Structure 1
């Protein structure tokens, strides 16, 4: 008799979007995602109402298991999101959602699970030695979105792996030149402490753009960060393009800092924003800034840096995290 596959609901919740998909897990360990549904967090009062919306879109019924990847710390009796007002009480998940089993992981913990399970062809080379990521040792995983997510995974020689969530995106921002000094000065007017996330995240492009405009004596209006990203990526605004390039430089600096802190043998850039700017990253000073660590520049040049191009690493990783927590219990 053929072994049956099982299903669960995979959820990836960020500051702006909540993505849902039905994940099918085969007995051989392979994971297949159904067509994702993307809901705006601002359109729903709570995670439960978003869940009910997705359930209705699926015909009124859902599998009896869920794995949630959440943008924020996941410990404690009440889970609060970093960049949206929802809360989740783990003790009530089974009752509120009508499921038997659940897993809750940090969003970049989930992405690290995806990195561990994704095949080599789902990575694009950015800098450092060519070839696959190291089969053993520690890898740093980070990515800009509404915030800046950071995690790391450790690959054992026997093929198993361990994942740890971090809040590395909240380390101090360290400027390297006069332009970044000016960006820091602008941000210090609003924030006593300026973290890396204030400069290396999607919304940060607005402050970078405004700083560059001020340095050139231009009067520009405050506007939505998406508009700046759009003009910067399509080349219709040279100042916005300069802001995007500056963003890539800062991302390289922070990625290098995380690799140093983790003792990483490889680095993976993840997240939807990283994927959208992949071509720009390759042409920018990202790689130069990644290596610019003084006495450790030679060591940094020996670290491979990749971009994961899996279309839904958060959802795929959430499902992988579930299989790690419930091995052999996927009936």
Structure 2
């Protein structure tokens, strides 16, 4: 059995776990520890905090899933101020090997390795995900992550990270026109991440309030999500439903762009919405692609229910990059 440290770093949280690869190839995680990025000056200090919590010693290898582009000499996060220099990772952390992947690249690895029982069906044909071909993997959290997974006939797979969360937002109705107009006052170019990510619920809520002539309240996204999902505020509930509509539209756009045979929704917020999405307008909007509506109806859309797909996928990426025999 081989052990590594698996890390999933997003805009708000950094999650750590010890990942074990067993002789039969299965990967398991111990109980994850979640740290707030705002509580630590750098990833190194967060690593040292985690190491202390684990008794002062850690495995000699690390795999890191990072919310942002990972190809340069300096990694800057999309939604938090940390900086990582890949060339210094082994020296700074005291490990001998490491792997760094985009966070949704890691989630795509998790999708590739997860069992059929770890997916919730949302829309389209029932049954397991297609065993071959391209799948779109996307999901909302602090930002909007997107990747694609290609399954080969021999059982191997390839993953590609993308920055699909930064494509342009395309409104479909007057309410979304109003959301776009509100956002354009602050952003010359409005990407889908401005509408389909956790913090976006504030602008959606305030747009709906303005349309009804209500006074705009100063609320944070957590309060609106909580009230909307619990049904204690009808306007917040309407904002959540509007979010689900937009998520369906964007998921369909990604599937068309990738030529996907299926779509998997992930992300921390995606998981929280698992009981709401099937009852929302998500499925209708996913298929609302004009001449391609018939094609979209044939694509299965599922939600991965693994509790830590980023950590699981980061570990899977490490073992794949080291020949699955590390």
Task: Decide: shared fold, TM above 0.5.
Answer: yes
Task: Tell me how far apart the structure 2 counterparts of residues 328 and 12 of structure 1 sit (CA, whole Å).
Answer: 20
Deviations 1:250-281 (A, max 9, x none): 00000000000000000000011111111110
Aligned partner of residue 240 in structure 2, secondary structure: helix
How far the C-alpha of 1:328 sits from its partner, in A, is: 4.8
* Residue 203 (str. 1) matches residue 178 (str. 2): no
Give the counterpart of 1:300 among 278, 296, 303.
296
How far the C-alpha of 1:223 sits from its partner, in A, is: 1.1
TM-score normalised over the length of structure 1: 0.98
Aligned to 1:37: 33
Give the counterpart of 2:110 among 110, 114, 127.
114
Aligned to 2:56: 60
Aligned to 1:165: 161
* Residue 126 (str. 1) matches residue 131 (str. 2): no
Aligned to 1:25: 21
Deviations 1:224-265 (A, max 9, x none): 100000000000000000000000000000000000000000
How far the C-alpha of 1:220 sits from its partner, in A, is: 2.7
Aligned to 1:192: 188
Aligned to 2:67: 71
Q: How does 1:291-330 map to 2 (within 5 A)?
A: 291-330=287-326
Q: How does 1:228-267 map to 2 (within 5 A)?
A: 228-267=224-263
Task: Tell me how far apart the structure 2 counterparts of residues 233 and 132 of structure 1 sit (CA, whole Å).
Answer: 29
How far the C-alpha of 1:184 sits from its partner, in A, is: 0.1
Task: Tell me how far apart the structure 2 counterparts of residues 184 and 151 of structure 1 sit (CA, whole Å).
Answer: 25
Give the counterpart of 1:105 among 96, 101, 111.
101
Quote the RMSD (CA, aligned, Å).
0.6
Task: Tell me how far apart the structure 2 counterparts of residues 272 and 145 of structure 1 sit (CA, whole Å).
Answer: 5
Q: Which runs of 5+ in 1 are unaligned?
A: none
How far the C-alpha of 1:7 sits from its partner, in A, is: 0.3
Aligned partner of residue 258 in structure 1, secondary structure: helix
Q: How many residues align?
A: 326
Task: Tell me how far apart the structure 2 counterparts of residues 161 and 327 of structure 1 sit (CA, whole Å).
Answer: 13
How far the C-alpha of 1:329 sits from its partner, in A, is: 4.4
Deviations 1:112-153 (A, max 9, x none): 000000000000000000000000000000000000000000
Task: Tell me how far apart the structure 2 counterparts of residues 228 and 76 of structure 1 sit (CA, whole Å).
Answer: 37
Aligned to 2:264: 268
Task: Tell me how far apart the structure 2 counterparts of residues 144 and 175 of structure 1 sit (CA, whole Å).
Answer: 18
Runs of 4+ in 1 over 6 A off after TM superposition: none
Aligned to 1:220: 216
TM-score normalised over the length of structure 2: 0.99
Aligned partner of residue 278 in structure 1, secondary structure: coil
